[in-house]
Homo-oligomer: A and B are copies of this chain.
Amino acid sequence: MSEKDRFSGALDRVLELVVLLNDDMTKSLASLGLTGSRAHLLWVLRERGPLTQRSLAQALGVSARNITGLVDALVATGFVSREPHPTDRRATLVSFTKQGEATARDLQRDQEEFAELLFAGMPREQFDAFVGGLGEVLARLAKAGLTRNAAGG
């Protein structure tokens, strides 16, 4: 088997993982009444506290206009609320409602459970090797100029 074939095969597996992960997360999110983008927004909000929509746009790497729609939806379903910014009357702060906080916790719990599903009981050596390889691949991607925020900065 040529090196080329080994590499392509590995990429195929990675891609398969991507598809599977995507499907599973989408389903899991749907059961909480969320979509991927809305969950992502909640996730950022949870890590960084109340934010303006502008900040959210930057954090998610999407247009400001798009955030309006996502927040609209999350407000409609009661996960977040819009508050006036205390000092800048142009801006609005997006904050969790109680329900939103609970959902964000569920989100994290689900993620932890999923990580458990993937890795629990795996020999420590294999786990470390996998994570190491993952890090190496990520580093190569970064070196190739694909650092998530290189374009968005």
Contacts and interface: CB of A to CB of B under 8 A. Distances in A.
Interface of A: 3-4, 6-11, 13-24, 111-112, 114-120, 122, 126-127, 129-138, 140-141, 144, 146, 148
Contacts of A135: 13
A20 B127 CA distance: 22
B10 A119 contact: yes
Contact of A138 (B7, B16, B131): B16
Contact of A24 (B112, B119, B146): B146
B11 A137 contact: no
Contact of A115 (B8, B21, B130, B136): B8
A37 to B, nearest CB: 12
B4 A112 contact: yes
Nearest to A142: B20
Contacts of A136: 122, 126, 130
B17 A14 contact: yes
A7 B119 contact: yes
13 contacts: A7-B115, A10-B134, A13-B135, A14-B118, A17-B137, A18-B18, A20-B141, A21-B141, A129-B130, A129-B132, A129-B133, A130-B132, A130-B136
